Amino acid sequence: MAARVEAELTTSARLVEVIAAAIPAAARHTGGHPAKRTFQALRIEVNRELEALEGMLPAALDSLALGGRIAVLAYHSLEDRLVKHALRDVTTSRAPRDLPVVPDELLPTFTLLTKGAERPSDEETATNPRAASARLRAAQRIKESR
């Protein structure tokens, strides 16, 4: 905030300077460019990427026919969390655990094709460093919609 008092932040270069100055020297050599996460957060917010993903996932799942598959690549934890929760909602039973016989309408409509999130191999990350943050989750429709 003190930097804004001195001069307005009117350029991205000035924002980078302020961010770089705010990071302790010991932490400057890890995690790539010091302003990377700030610009990523700005892009996500300006483009409403998480809102788009929240709207797209249910629509994509609803559009799949019996046997249809969906695979989603997420490149940061906020996206991955949305995908994880959306797939959890359609792959778990909505019946109470102690119910002896589960009605068909409470059974899951999808099954997971991945155990957790699949991550790129060391070999792939070596040839494509941008793949390092990627997480893949996939599911298949096993029953018509609820």
Q: What is the pLDDT of residue 61?
A: 97
* Mean pLDDT rounded to a whole number for the chain: 88
* In the chain, domain spans: 2-45, 49-141
| Token code pair at residue 60 | 């994509």
- Say which amino acid occupies 103: P
Phi, psi of 57 (to 5 degrees): -60, -50
Q: How many CB atoms lie within 10 A of CB 81?
A: 13
Angle at 72 between CA 66 and CA 74, to 5 degrees: 160
pLDDT digits (tens, 9 = 90+) for 108-120: 999 999 999 999 9
Question: pTM for the complete prediction?
Answer: 0.78
User: What CATH number was assigned to the domain covering residues 49-141?
Assistant: 3.40.50.150
pLDDT digits (tens, 9 = 90+) for 119-146: 999 999 999 998 999 999 999 999 987 5
HSE (side-chain half, CA atoms, 13 Å) at 16: 8
